[in-house]
Amino acid sequence: MVVVKIKDLPKEKFLLPGNTSCQGCPHALGLKSLGMALGDDVVLVVPAGCTTIIAGSKDKSSFKFPCLHVPFASAPAVATGLGSAFRRLGKRGIPVVWMGDGGSDIGFATLSGACVRKDDMIVIVSDNEAYMNTGIQTSGTTFWKAKTTTSPTGKREEKKDLALIMLMHKADYVATASVGYLQDFIGKLRKASEIDGFRFIHLHSPCPPGWGFDSSETVEMARLAVKCGAWILWEFDGKFKISSISKPYADKSKRTPLAEYLKKQRRFRHLSDEDIAEIERRIDEQWRVVLALEEVF
Amino acid sequence: MECMIAKPSKGSAGKTGLWRTFKPIYDENKCNNCLLCWLYCPENAIDVVDGKISIDYDYCKGCGVCAKICAKKAIEMVREEEL
């Protein structure tokens, strides 16, 4: 992948200041990177979520690109229609679906349909591991044992791996990214924009009020997740590759101790040493799968 | 129809600088112009003017991400009432 240099990034803002995002919001980091990566080629499609609020209200929009607000489960289906309209009318534009883990849980049927048809779009799931906008309820991607308002003693079910699901769904491009590594995310968006068909990026987005950490630590928390191996950066563009940032952490001795990441978050403060050991075991298992995929896929 | 279409505007939530408890104070002498604060400002409230950074206090919400990410410690978070 081409290295993205900070000094070469465009200075034009596509996410305007003074919007309603919380202090230290990871979606805001993701959305501004989207503008830096693809500029005014973006036509954003947003189902209900925090981003619906961030987009602004009444006559004021906080985005410089067009944005469509659509009913919850419909976002990829709307992008399918947009994509075919652009093609037939000869208009420039990339339909970009921006949704949270809620949108991808509730809208999984349309997501799956668009992927099967290889419809022309980029789907970004900005995953803060719970339904934050409605009050921090458990989602499909919430970590095992994480406290939410619907799992007050910790989530009992395993988290689903959305990016690997989309990989097995034969999407044309699949990647994981993190708001802790924006240059990597921008590089992946640019690469996705050069590939035709259905492209999917799973963006890890630590949420200060939802996870219970200080607003200044969003980037630090996202980086800790990668450094302790809990979030693995990889991409598939015909060949499955672990990204260079995550590569060193295949070696367990290079990883930051998991407790450092977990104990900084209110949602994990109740964990026992046995729980942490169990999470570590699950992370090791995840690495075995990803390393095996790099060999065979 | 035109009046129903939202237009790109700064401050769609008003002057969000009023949300601030801590204010980022920038020390130009410590800065090495790496622009990490500009890249990682979630509010997009940091501009680059002639290669130097400038913080838009009308909209900066005082999250503190810029101060945390700065390796040179050129940004310090100071409580508003102490200023």
Q: Tell me the chain B residues in contact with residue A56 when contact means C-beta distances shorter than 8 Å.
A: 6, 9, 12-13
The CA distance from A252 to A115, in Å, is 34
- pLDDT 10s digit of each residue in chain B, 83 long? 777 889 999 999 999 999 999 999 999 999 999 999 999 999 999 999 988 899 999 999 999 999 999 999 999 999 998 88
Q: What is the pLDDT of residues A84-96, one digit of tens each?
A: 999 999 999 999 9
CATH (domain of B73): 3.30.70.20
Helix (H) or strand (E) holding B75: strand B75-79
Name the residue of chain B whose CA is nearest to A16's CA.
B10
Q: Tell me the chain A residues in contact with residue B7 when contact means C-beta distances shorter than 8 Å.
A: 59-61
The answer to whether B12 and A19 have CB atoms below 8 angstroms apart is yes
Domain assignment present for residue B73? The answer is yes
Q: What is the pLDDT of residues A101-155, one digit of tens each?
A: 999 999 999 999 999 999 999 999 999 999 999 999 999 999 999 999 999 999 9
Interface contact A17-B63, CB threshold 8 A: no
Give, in order, the Cα–Cα distances in Å from A226 to each of A36, A88, A246, A276, B23: 23, 42, 7, 16, 29
Q: Which of A14, A19, A207, A218 should be substituted to probe chain B, the one whose Cβ sees the most B Cβ atoms within 10 Å? A: A19
CA distance A50 to chain B (A): 14
Give, in order, the Cα–Cα distances in Å from A201 to each of A15, A249, A296, B6: 19, 21, 21, 28
Question: What is the distance, to the nearest Å, from the Cα of residue A55 to the centroid of all Cα atoms in its chain?
Answer: 18
CA distance B47 to chain A (A): 8
Q: Which residues contact A182 (CB under 8 A, 6 or more apart)?
A: A29, A33, B39, B40
Q: How many domains does chain B have?
A: 1
Which range marks the domain in which residue B63 is found? Answer: 27-83
The answer to whether A145 and A155 have CB atoms below 8 angstroms apart is yes
- The CATH code for residues A6-296 is 3.40.50.970
ipTM of the shown complex: 0.95
The CA distance from A264 to A266, in Å, is 7
Domain assignment present for residue B52? The answer is yes
Name the residue of chain B whose CA is nearest to A56's CA.
B12
